[in-house]
Amino acid sequence: MTGPRRPPRLIVGLGLAAVFILLGFVLPLLAGQDPRDWNAFPKNLKPSRAHWLGTTGLGQDTFWLLTYSLRNSLILGVLVGFFATVIGVVVGVFAGLKGGWMDRTLSLLMDTFIVVPSLPILILLASLLQGRASILIISAVLIVFNWPWPARQIRSVALTMREREFIHTAWFSGESTLTVIRTEIFPYISSWAVGNFINTVLVAIAVESGLAVIGLSSLQESTLGTMIYWALQYQALLAGRWWWILTPVIAIMALFITLFLLASGQAAWASARRGRAVA
C-alpha cells in the first residue's frame, strides 16, 4: 500500500527551500572575494550584466552580498530552531513522564522563561555589545527564550500519553525511560517536532532581522537584517536605490513564505499519514 501523496504546498516549499540552500550555501563559494568588503566596486551602480543587482553605497556587489547574508540568516535560524526544539522536546517529555518534583521543577523553569519578556533583554544585550554580538551569541540568546514553548506543549502530550495502556505495558515489561521515549513517545511527536523546528527558524530570522534594522544585531556580520540596516543608514530608499533595500526585503518575504509552506504542508502530510495508519 502506497502512502498518502505529498501536498502540493509541501512540494513547492521543498523546491523553494532547495533554491534558498543553493543561493545561501553554494553560490557564496563562487564569489571570488569576501562580499562584505567595502569599496570593492564603484558605488551605487544600477543592475547590469556585470552586477546583476547593482552595487551598494558601500561599494559591495548586492547579489553576492545577498547570498552571504542569506547564508548567515539561515545558519542562525537553523541553529535556534534545532536546539530550541531538541531542548524543548527533551525537557517536556521528561517532565511529563516523570511527574513529581522533576515535573514541578521543570515546569517552574519553563514558566519563568515564558513570562520574562525576551525583546527588552535582547535590546539590552545588543546595546551592551554595541553591535559586536556574533551570530553564535545571538543564536544562544534566542535559544534560551524559545525552548520553553515546545517544552510546555510536549509536556502536555507526555502527561496524556503516560496514562495510556501501551505506555503502562512498556513500563511493566521492564523497559527503561529512554527506551520508552525512543520507541513509544518519539514516533508520535516527531512530525510535530519537525513543524516546531520550521516555525522556530522563521521566528528566529524575524527577531534577528527586526533587531538588525534598528542597529542592535551583529553589524560585523552580514545578515538580511543588516543589509536593510545599512541601506537605511545610507538613505537608499530616498535616493531611489531600490535594488539595495528591496533585495533583502523580498528575500525575507520569500523565505517566510517558503517556511510557511513547509510547515503547513508537513503538518497536512503528517495528518494524512496518521489517518491512513489508523484506517
Give residue-wise pLDDT tens across range 211-236: 888 777 777 788 999 999 999 999 89
The answer, yes or no, to whether residue 125 has pLDDT greater than 90, is: no
pLDDT confidence of residue 2 = 59
The answer, yes or no, to whether residue 141 has pLDDT greater than 50, is: yes
Residue 82 to residue 71: CA distance in whole angstroms:
16
Q: Of residues 129 and 240, which shows the higher confidence score?
A: 240
Q: Of residues 125 and 12, which shows the higher confidence score?
A: 12
Worst-scoring range by mean pLDDT, 142-156, 162-176, 196-210? 162-176
Answering whether pTM is above 0.95, one says no
pLDDT confidence of residue 19 = 96
Residue 1: pLDDT band with limits 50, 70, 90: very low
The answer, yes or no, to whether residue 121 has pLDDT greater than 90, is: no
Across 165-175, average pLDDT? 77
Contacts of 189 by beta carbon, 8 Å cutoff, 6+ apart? 89, 93, 154, 157
Residues 32-51: b if buried by 16+ CB within 10 A, e if exposed = eeebbeeebbeebbeeeeeb
Across 84-105, average pLDDT? 90
**Cell numbers at residue 68, please?**
552571504
Find, among 225, 249, 227, 246, the residue nearest to 237 by Cα: 246
Q: Is 24 helix (H, G, I), strand (E, B) or coil?
A: helix
The answer, yes or no, to whether residue 22 has pLDDT greater than 70, is: yes
Mean pLDDT of the chain: 87
pLDDT confidence of residue 168 = 74
Residue 89: pLDDT band with limits 50, 70, 90: very high
pLDDT confidence of residue 277 = 53
Q: Of residues 198 and 122, which shows the higher confidence score?
A: 198
Q: What percent of the chain has pLDDT over 70?
A: 96
φ, ψ for residue 55 (rounded to 5)? -125, 160
Across 174-195, average pLDDT? 82
Whether the CB-CB separation of 181 and 170 falls below 8 Å is answered with: no
Residue 93 to residue 154: CA distance in whole angstroms:
6
**Cell numbers at residue 212, please?**
538588525
Most confident residue range from 27-41, 90-104, 198-212, 249-263: 249-263
